[in-house]
Amino acid sequence: MMDKLSDDNCPVYRWRRIDDPAGPQPRPRHGHRAVAIKDLMLVFGGGNEGIVEELHVFNTATNQWFIPTLKGDIPPGCAAYGIVVDNTRVLIFGGMVEYGKYSSDLYELQASKWEWKRLKPKPPRFGSPPCPRLGHSFTLIGNKVYLFGGLANSGGDETKPTPSYKYLDDFYTLELKSGHTTVWDMPGTYGGLPSPRESHTACSWTDEYKNTKLIIYGGMSGNRLSDLFMLDINSMTWQKPQILGPQPLPRSLHTACVIGDRMFIFGGWVPILKDESRSLHEKEWKCSNQLACLHLPEMTWEDLSVEVTDDFLPKPRAGHCASVINSRMYIWSGRDDYKKAWNNQVCCKDLWYLEVEKPGPPGRIQLVRAATNNLEICWPGHPIADSYAIY
């Protein structure tokens, strides 16, 4: 059964909440990240009354959480870090390890044996490796990870209540070679680089001509942003495309997932509208549960309809995680109030998914046995289909 309730020209979506999943459920948090390996969603780090160092795994096929037994160079807890997955190899970089203290460490998790290893990448041939930071983007395309921006401590005493910060616009690649070898580079690019920012999102998308793009959207740079930049990986050229349709509000600490030719944006901090003219109050913000969708081939924000009953809509949140498994976008936890102190948040503890494409057809139906009054048949099902109608 699908949760996209109408045709592609006028999509209406319904969220589904996963109630009472089995296994040891993780503590609610924000600033964590998630990646998918087959049917598994791996969730690491984040913060709520301290930085979290746990790794939890949710099996979407069985709706069950479990905590794997880890070995090796287990990283300290961190929040707002970068994470990518390449088959069963997970890499995390940077993030906040203590309040006001950021990391530039790189760790690798071999999920096939749940073993961590701290890596020491080679520095760029010209220039310095990335400085410690949080809120950066970290995106895998081919055998390279693309690092952009983030927030750095600009010097001074990190223990002060209000340390000095700097928004970054630096751009690196991390080449993944055989074994555990990794190499930083600072590639030259053309066009206008995105402005400095943190808590933005970055996704990769390959168009019909096999050109792969890195898409940077939104973020924070003193105020929330709503701009979008694309980097053509072949030519290493940045562009700021003209986008049509009803533009979402500026935001940070949101999530973005590409499924097919669409980029789905959910949640984050958005400005409070002062009046019906949509003028923004730059000093007042709230968490959002808005779902927005950018049709990438036409660069058009689609006018989505979403069921808005309490049973079918996640609460507003920011700093949550999102992961795509099959054609479902899963979200978990996140903070639901921006006014409280960083280490004293009210965090959501619910798990939801959104079906964004029709499930594929089942496999070939086979006859098991037949009798006068009954017929037994079987077929290989589709992992995201809840039920089938037989005519």
Examine the pLDDT at 10 and tell me if it is beyond 60.
no
Diameter over CA atoms, the chain: 85
Report helix, strand or coil for 312: helix
- Please state, for a pLDDT cut of 90, what percent of the chain lies above it: 71
Q: Of 127-131, 275-279, 385-389, where does mean pLDDT reach its minimum?
A: 275-279
Domains of the chain, by residue range, sit at: 12-357, 363-390
Average confidence score pLDDT of the chain = 88
CATH of 12-357, one of 3.90.76.10, 2.120.10.80, 3.10.450.40, 3.50.50.60: 2.120.10.80
Q: Are 138 and 121 in contact (CB under 8 A)?
A: no
Report, as an integer, the average pLDDT of 37-45.
Answer: 97
Q: How many residues does the chain have?
A: 391
Give every CB contact of residue 193 below 8 A, 6+ residues apart in sequence: 169, 171, 229, 238
Between 381 and 341, the more confident residue is 381
- Please state, for a pLDDT cut of 70, what percent of the chain lies above it: 85
Report, as an integer, the average pLDDT of 236-249.
Answer: 96
Predicted local distance difference test score (pLDDT) of residue 3: 45
Positive or negative torsion for Cα 311, 317, 322, 327: positive
Report, as an integer, the average pLDDT of 377-386.
Answer: 68
Predicted local distance difference test score (pLDDT) of residue 285: 86
Residues linked to residue 17 through DSSP beta bridges, in sequence order: 352
Give the pLDDT band of residue 259 (cuts 50, 70, 90).
very high
Using a cut of 0.85, tell me whether the model's pTM lies above it.
Answer: yes
Report, as an integer, the average pLDDT of 165-176.
Answer: 97
Residue 310 carries which DSSP code? Answer: G
Structure tokens given for 96 = 């906040």
Give the pLDDT band of residue 155 (cuts 50, 70, 90).
low
Buried b / exposed e along 14-42 (16+ C-beta atoms within 10 A): bbbeeeeeeeeebebbbbbbbbbbeebbb
Examine the pLDDT at 218 and tell me if it is beyond 90.
yes
Q: Of 60-69, 71-80, 331-340, where does mean pLDDT reach its minimum?
A: 331-340
Report, as an integer, the average pLDDT of 350-379.
Answer: 77
Q: Could you give the dihedral angle defined by the CA atoms of residues 214, 217, 221 and 223, in that order, rounded to the nearest 10 degrees?
A: 170
Distances (CA, A) of 125 to 91, 103, 131, 176: 22, 22, 16, 16
Examine the pLDDT at 345 and tell me if it is beyond 70.
no
Report, as an integer, the average pLDDT of 54-68.
Answer: 97
Predicted local distance difference test score (pLDDT) of residue 221: 95
Predicted local distance difference test score (pLDDT) of residue 145: 98
Predicted local distance difference test score (pLDDT) of residue 133: 98
Between 305 and 261, the more confident residue is 261
